[in-house]
């Protein structure tokens, strides 16, 4: 089996590497010559645990190649995966499909024999059909079938999510295409991964429904956390108490500063627009988008309150700026709302993130970037944990206390136990749990 993966972003690179680990002959294609040159040198464009090692091994084994030549890479491939970006379109929140359609035209030009054309990027319902139309229009003689095969991997655990998925969703009307897709995913049969075959459009919607449901679950527990604060309850206990019900499930019930990242914010918004246009609005998801946006903005107020109502002249030490740990991705990270709001309120912000600072420096002005966790805390009036990186989970509390001007910690990820922090002499504010004061 030979496949061409168009686009070496998160989805394309991880999927390409993992398919080649399955034994498939893969060529990953990107227009960006610099990116391909770096990949050929073994330099990954993203931080994803285990990806560099995996790529190095399979490149050496000759199963994974990188190229800027789409035409050569697509010719003779059994399957061509479209894994280019589908960002939010400025102004209306719809997914911007211009990259997908441009690639479709190039693929049309490059097809030599039968191939399945697979959309792996998250694309709105109807995109696969339109890609098929574009190819057919450009090349009436081309032999191909369209497939939707959405990706459910999470940044930070992408390789494991690809290799041990809960399920694989494949949308197509063609038996020939089904057979090729089944062959590509054959190694997953060994671990009895359920494969859900659907129509093309149903598969496209399934991806949005999955992300939207997860975003809703997070937003639900975030609102319960706010209520816990008013009623003196503990959201972690509530999450456990409801999550043990198999119908609800324990995952994605961790209250925090609001979801971010490259997927949930863009996909919730895109599905809201699709549903409005289809005349079947998703009121729940509309509210989720609104509540989450407001939540991210509101988080800075907690810090200001912890400082006694004013941040003027105060120094805030921010630990973690990426939207979650084990990634360098800053897209829609809560830190992008929290840090400017603190600066506007008159605070000086010092910050440290193990992997995200290169990206963050481009997006956040006026921040004092530090080299280590402890350097960041030196002389600060309050510590704010925005991202739950492992290295922030076991801070030397005595050392922290000595470094701070005031022993205050605002923990937006509930990393610490309130009683322990109070016993160590801190004023500790977390999410949805009774505050603890020394």
The closest of 106, 103, 131 to 9, measured between CA atoms, is 103
263 included as an active-site residue: yes
DSSP-assigned states of every residue in 229-252: HHHT--HHHHHHHHHTSTTT-STT
Q: Which is nearer to ligand UGA, 1 or 233 (CB)?
A: 233
Residue choice 55, 205, 263, 300 for contact with ligand UGA (CB under 6 A): 263
Judged by CB under 6 A, which stretch of 147-155, 198-206, 310-318, 350-358 contacts ligand UGA? 147-155
Shortest distance (Å) from residue 425 CB to ligand UGA: 29
CB of 322 to ligand UGA, least distance (A): 9
Radius of gyration of the chain measured on its C-alpha atoms: 24
Q: Determine if 151 is a binding residue for ligand UGA (CB under 6 A).
A: yes
**132 contributes a contact to ligand UGA by CB under 6 A:** no
Interhelix angle 283-306/200-231, rounded to 10 degrees, is 40
Question: Could you give phi then psi for residue 96, rounded to 5 degrees?
Answer: -85, 110
**Chain CA centroid to CA 316, Å:** 27
288 binds ligand UGA (CB under 6 A): no
CA distance 417 to 431: 11
Least gap, CB of 252 to ligand UGA (angstroms): 4
Q: Is-contact 398 383, C-beta < 8 A?
A: no
Instruction: Candidates 61-69, 74-82, 150-158, 300-308: pick the segment binding ligand UGA (CB under 6 A).
Output: 150-158
Which helix (H) or strand (E) element contains residue 6? strand 2-6
* Longest Cα separation, the chain: 75
Q: Any idea what DSSP says for residue 385?
A: E
Torsion of CA 319, 239, 337, 332, to 10 degrees: 100
Contacts of 156 (CB under 8 A, 6+ apart): 48, 49, 324, 325, 326, 327
Rule CB under 6 A: choose which of 213, 252, 369, 374 binds ligand UGA: 252
**65 or 120: whose CB is closer to ligand UGA?**
120
Catalytic residue among 18, 28, 263, 370: 263
CB-nearer residue toward ligand UGA: 149 or 315 = 149
**Residue numbers 212-241 binding ligand UGA by CB under 6 A:** 214, 218
Name residues contacting ligand UGA, limited to 193-212 (CB under 6 A). 211
Residue among 16 and 256 whose Cβ is closer to ligand UGA: 256
Cα distances from 410 to residues 49, 310, 353, in angstroms, run: 28, 15, 16
Using the rule CB under 6 A, give the single segment among 152-160, 190-198, 292-300, 309-317 that binds ligand UGA: 152-160
User: At its nearest, how many Å lie between ligand UGA and the CB of residue 210?
Assistant: 7
Residue 420 CB coordination number (10 Å): 12
Residues 21, 16: Cα–Cα separation, whole Å: 9
- The token pair that represents 97 in the structure block: 């499909």
Site for ligand UGA in 347-386 (CB under 6 A): none
Binding part of the chain for ligand UGA, among 36-44, 151-159, 346-354, 367-375 by CB under 6 A, reads 151-159
| Member of 122, 315, 326, 430 binding ligand UGA (CB under 6 A) | 122
Q: Least distance to ligand UGA from the beta carbon of 259, Å?
A: 3
If one asks whether residue 324 binds ligand UGA (CB under 6 A), the answer comes out as yes
Compute how many residues bind ligand UGA; rule: CB under 6 A.
20
Of 395, 306, 321, nearest in space to 351 by CA: 321
Minimum distance, C-beta of residue 105 to ligand UGA, in the bound complex (Å) = 25
Distance from the Cα of residue 179 to its chain's centroid: 30
Q: Judged by CB under 6 A, which of 35, 65, 94, 254 binds ligand UGA?
A: 254
Run of H or E including 146: strand 144-148
Residue whose CB is less far from ligand UGA, 151 or 359: 151
Q: Which residues are catalytic?
A: 263
Please report, as ranges, the residues that interact with ligand UGA according to CB under 6 A: 122, 151-155, 211, 214, 218, 252-254, 256, 259-261, 263-264, 323-324
């Amino acid at each position: 089996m030979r496949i061409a993966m168009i686009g070496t972003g998160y989805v394309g690179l991880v999927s390409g590497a993992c398919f080649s680990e399955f034994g498939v002959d893969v060529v990953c294609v990107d227009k960006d010559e610099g990116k391909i040159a770096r990949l050929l040198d073994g330099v990954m464009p993203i931080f994803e645990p285990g990806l560099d090692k995996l790529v190095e091994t399979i490149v050496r084994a000759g199963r994974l190649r990188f190229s800027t030549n789409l035409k050569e890479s697509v010719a003779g491939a059994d399957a061509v995966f479209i894994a280019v970006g589908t960002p939010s379109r400025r102004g209306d929140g719809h997914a911007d499909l211009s990259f997908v359609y441009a690639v479709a035209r190039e693929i049309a030009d490059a097809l030599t024999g039968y191939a399945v054309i697979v959309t792996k990027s998250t694309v709105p319902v109807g995109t696969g059909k339109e890609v098929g139309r574009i190819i057919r229009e450009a090349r009436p003689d081309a032999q191909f079938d369209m497939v939707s095969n959405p990706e459910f991997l999470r940044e930070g655990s992408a390789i494991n999510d690809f290799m041990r998925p809960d399920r694989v969703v494949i949308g197509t009307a063609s038996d020939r295409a089904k057979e090729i897709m089944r062959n590509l995913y054959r190694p997953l049969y060994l671990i009895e991964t359920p494969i859900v075959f659907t129509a093309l459009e149903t598969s496209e919607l399934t991806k949005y429904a999955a992300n939207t449901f997860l975003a809703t679950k997070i937003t639900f527990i975030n609102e319960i956390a706010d209520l816990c604060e008013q009623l003196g309850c503990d959201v972690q206990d509530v999450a456990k108490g409801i999550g043990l019900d198999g119908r609800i499930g324990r995952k994605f019930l961790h209250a925090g500063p609001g979801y971010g990242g490259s997927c949930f914010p863009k996909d919730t918004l895109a599905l809201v627009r699709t549903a409005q246009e289809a005349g079947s609005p998703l009121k729940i998801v509309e509210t989720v988008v609104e509540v989450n946006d407001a939540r991210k903005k509101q988080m800075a107020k907690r810090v200001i309150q912890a400082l006694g109502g004013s941040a003027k002249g105060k120094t805030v030490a921010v630990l973690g700026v990426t939207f979650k740990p084990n990634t360098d991705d800053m897209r829609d990270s809560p830190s992008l709302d929290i840090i400017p709001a603190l600066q506007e309120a008159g605070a000086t912000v010092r910050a440290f993130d193990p992997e995200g600072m290169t990206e963050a420096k481009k997006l956040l002005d006026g921040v004092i970037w530090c080299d280590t966790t402890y350097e960041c805390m030196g002389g600060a009036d309050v510590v704010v944990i925005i991202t739950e990186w492992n290295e922030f989970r076991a801070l030397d509390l005595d050392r922290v206390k000595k470094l701070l001007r005031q022993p205050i910690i605002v923990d937006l990820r509930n990393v610490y136990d309130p009683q322990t922090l109070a016993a160590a002499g801190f004023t500790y504010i977390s999410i949805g749990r009774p505050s603890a004061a020394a």
